[in-house]
Amino acid sequence: MNSTSPSSTKIIPETDIIPRHVAIIMDGNGRWAKSRSLPRIIGHKNGIEAVRTAVKACIERGINYLTLFAFSSENWRRPTEEVSYLMQLFITVLQQEVIKLHENGIRFKVIGDLTKFEPEIIKFIRNGEEMTAANTRLTLTIAANYGGRWDIVQAIRKMHVQNSKLIKNFVEEDLSKHFAMNYAPEPDLFIRTGGEQRISNFLLWDLAYTELYFTNILWPDFNAGSLDLAIQSYQQRERRFGRTSEQLQE
Ligand code: IPE
Ligand code: IPE
Ligand code: MG
């Protein structure tokens, strides 16, 4: 997507047995809680531990980018109490964890429409991003109030601001440099827990050639072994990027 990681539709990317970038829809918190006769919010609380586990497991496996869908632009449609709880949880976890991420050499990023967040939260996020900007062990991106369609619209707006004459004849790169994930290579592996097989408005542009993996495991139960199963599935895929299988054998 950026100068170091060209678009998969322009240049065939180099691939490795370990995905460089894993993007996850962390789904199933509510059902996890329901199956234990607990309130949905307890499922969200328990999902935090699964996030810590996933971060650690990605580092141990040499994955460079982990992108987690935490709250979608459509999740505002949920009951007010659940939305407020999720927001509070997000803020609490941010305040507890950003320093720890930094100490562990992790670069922290947040993508999404932050305009709905309190100014202090936005400041806290931007400070955390600045503080961790030079870290190279893992880039952890949290998608908060993120929507793939929002991302495309905001990129077009930025492109227009930069050069309004360009709009008529723009090419892929003119637009892609404004996407929220312009600092990362496109995801190699997409994981969705919770059994649903849909994208739910996650990284619409970026997932063009990503390998998709769906599992029935509910997010709070996701662990290092679950990640390994996803990676094993990924390793069996033939990433053709439009070519034939025979061409890959050459
Ligand atoms: C994912 O779990 C977390 C968020 C969307 C914030 P859900 O809350 O969607 O859990 P289910 O899908 O209802 O089980
Ligand atoms: C997708 O999960 C969003 C996040 C995990 C943050 P949802 O549970 O909101 O998705 P749908 O509504 O089942 O498509
Ligand atoms: Mg869900």
Share above pLDDT 90 across residues of the chain, in percent, rounded to a whole number = 94
Q: Which domain holds residue 111?
A: 21-237
Cβ–ligand 1 contact at 26 (below 6 Å): yes
User: Is 109:141 a contact under the CB 8 Å cutoff?
Assistant: yes
| Each residue's pLDDT tens digit, 39-81 | 999 999 999 999 999 999 999 999 999 999 999 999 999 999 9
In this predicted structure, what is the pLDDT of residue 209? 98
Share above pLDDT 70 across residues of the chain, in percent, rounded to a whole number = 98
For residue 25, give the nearest of 220, 200, 230 by alpha carbon. 200
250 — pLDDT class (breaks 50, 70, 90): confident
6 belongs to a structural domain: no
16 belongs to a structural domain: no
Contacts of 130 (CB under 8 A, 6+ apart): none
3 — pLDDT class (breaks 50, 70, 90): very low
Cβ–ligand 1 contact at 27 (below 6 Å): yes
Distance 235 CA to ligand 2 centre (A): 26
Domain with residue 78: its CATH number is 3.40.1180.10
Output the CA torsion sign for 233, 213, 135, 90: negative
**pLDDT above 90 (res 1):** no
Across residues 182-204, what is the average pLDDT?
A: 98
For residue 44, give the nearest of 74, 102, 84, 76 by alpha carbon. 84
| Each residue's pLDDT tens digit, 195-217 | 999 999 999 999 999 999 999 99
50 belongs to a structural domain: yes
10 belongs to a structural domain: no
29 belongs to a structural domain: yes
HEC letters along 56-70: HHHHHCCCCEEEEEE
Look up tokens 């650690």; give the residue: 56
9 belongs to a structural domain: no
In this predicted structure, what is the pLDDT of residue 4? 54
Number of domains in the chain: 1
Task: Report the predicted TM-score, pTM, of the whole model to 2 decimal places.
Answer: 0.97
| Each residue's pLDDT tens digit, 105-135 | 999 999 999 999 999 999 999 999 999 999 9
Average pLDDT, the chain: 96
207 belongs to a structural domain: yes
**pLDDT above 70 (res 103):** yes
Rounded to the nearest angstrom, the gap between the alpha carbon of residue 242 and the centroid of all alpha carbons in its chain is 24
Distance 128 CA to ligand 2 centre (A): 26
**pLDDT above 70 (res 91):** yes
Q: Is 188 a catalytic residue?
A: no
Distance 73 CA to ligand 3 centre (A): 13
Cβ–ligand 2 contact at 144 (below 6 Å): no
186 belongs to a structural domain: yes
HEC letters along 99-158: HHHHHCCEEEEEECCHHHCCHHHHHHHHHHHHHHCCCCCEEEEEEEEECHHHHHHHHHHH
